[in-house]
């Protein structure tokens, strides 16, 4: 169940930027497992908004494989800046903002099991004119790091697979360019701030256990170890965001149970 205070925070942002001729674009950012997608879905239901996730506009598997060959092998893994189709995101937002009462707007979808974009025929459709467009994404609002901060690896993945720093450098360049331009188009961004990066693994494991129909304590240790490696792809930028490297209009600090305890502007 979504905390009412979080729903109220989203509702306040929608109301603050809504005008008869303007549909607000509101972002909900947060580390993996922070509850951003659950919040965005609940808020879209309550406020009559359209919702999509940054995950919905990943580049296709073939496009990421091309990046892996041309830039760095780690770009085969979806998630970091550089692996999203920002043009598709912009086109979808524009279509939603231009929608009328009888419009039917297709919303992109990504099949994570197939690790590829879902066929357009299977995309969900938003009917009507939304009160707002809500987009959730783990790196929404993230700012680029200084070049000097990219020198040292932050984990074993970077130390072993990004020895020369080309992958993290390319992701940082993307953040400074097309991602910064995309984030600037949002009316407001709400950031769900994790208590620490250590909480992210626990949250991600809880998610995985839920998908498998298990209690968190029942998740196999081998799967937890795999997830610990996977989240290293997101560690650098997540840590940067937790220490202030994010442009957010509202920040809500969460405790380890994802409960808000200090909303602030």
Q: What is the pLDDT of residues 69-79, one digit of tens each?
A: 999 999 999 99
Q: What is the pLDDT of residues 116-132, one digit of tens each?
A: 999 999 999 999 999 99
The verdict on residue 111 lying in a domain is yes
Closest CA to 246 of 29, 13, 14: 29
- Write down the pLDDT at residue 264: 45
Ranges of H-type helices in the chain: 4-17, 36-47, 61-70, 86-97, 156-161, 166-174, 180-184, 198-211, 221-230, 232-242
- Write down the pLDDT at residue 265: 43
The alpha carbon of 198 is separated from its chain's Cα centroid by a whole number of angstroms, namely: 18
- Write down the pLDDT at residue 200: 93
Q: Which residue has the tokens 């892996």?
A: 68
Residues in the chain: 265
The verdict on residue 262 lying in a domain is no
Q: In whole angstroms, what is the distance from residue 83 CA to residue 70 CA? A: 13
The verdict on residue 263 lying in a domain is no
Q: In whole angstroms, what is the distance from residue 159 CA to residue 235 CA? A: 13
CB distance 173 to 63 below 8 Å: no
Number of structural domains the chain divides into: 1
- Write down the pLDDT at residue 105: 98
- Write down the pLDDT at residue 262: 59
Q: What is the mean pLDDT of the chain?
A: 95
pTM of the model: 0.94
> Average of pLDDT values for 77-89?
97
The verdict on residue 265 lying in a domain is no
Q: What is the pLDDT of residues 150-202, one digit of tens each?
A: 999 999 999 999 999 999 999 999 999 999 999 999 999 999 999 999 999 99
SS3 28: strand
Report residue 211's pLDDT band, with 50, 70 and 90 as the boundaries. confident
Q: In whole angstroms, what is the distance from residue 15 CA to residue 24 CA? A: 9
The verdict on residue 260 lying in a domain is no
**CATH number reported for the structural domain that contains residue 165 in this entry:** 3.40.50.300
pLDDT exceeds 90 at position 55: yes
Region at 43 (left for phi over 0; alpha for psi -120 to 50; beta for the rest):
alpha
> Average of pLDDT values for 99-111?
97
The verdict on residue 83 lying in a domain is yes
The verdict on residue 258 lying in a domain is no
Among 103-112, 208-217, 250-259, the range scoring the smallest mean pLDDT is 208-217
Q: Which domain holds residue 87?
A: 4-253
Extract the tokens encoding 158: 């970077």
The verdict on residue 72 lying in a domain is yes
């Amino acid at each position: 169940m979504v905390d009412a205070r979080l729903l109220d925070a989203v509702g306040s942002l929608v109301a603050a930027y809504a005008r008869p001729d303007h549909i607000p674009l509101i972002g909900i950012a947060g580390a993996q497992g922070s509850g951003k997608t659950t919040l965005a879905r609940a808020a879209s239901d309550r406020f009559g908004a359209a919702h999509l996730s940054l995950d919905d506009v990943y580049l296709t598997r073939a496009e990421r494989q091309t990046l892996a060959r041309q830039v760095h092998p780690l770009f085969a893994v979806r998630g970091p800046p550089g692996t999203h189709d920002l043009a598709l995101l912009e086109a979808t937002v524009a279509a939603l903002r231009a929608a009328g009462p009888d419009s039917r707007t297709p919303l992109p979808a990504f099949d994570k099991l197939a690790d590829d974009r879902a066929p357009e025929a299977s995309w969900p459709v938003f009917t009507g004119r939304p009160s707002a467009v809500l987009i959730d994404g783990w790196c929404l609002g993230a700012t680029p790091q200084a070049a000097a901060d990219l020198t040292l690896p932050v984990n074993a993945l970077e130390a072993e697979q990004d020895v020369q720093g080309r992958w993290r450098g390319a992701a940082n360049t993307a953040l400074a360019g097309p991602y910064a331009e995309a984030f600037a188009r949002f009316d407001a961004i709400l950031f769900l701030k994790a208590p620490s990066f250590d909480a992210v693994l626990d949250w991600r494991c809880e998610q995985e256990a839920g998908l498998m129909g298990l209690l968190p304590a029942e998740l196999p240790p081998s799967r937890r170890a795999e997830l610990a490696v996977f989240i290293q792809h997101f560690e650098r930028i997540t840590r940067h965001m937790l220490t202030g490297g994010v442009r957010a209009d509202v920040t809500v600090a969460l405790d380890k149970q994802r409960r808000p305890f200090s909303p602030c502007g």
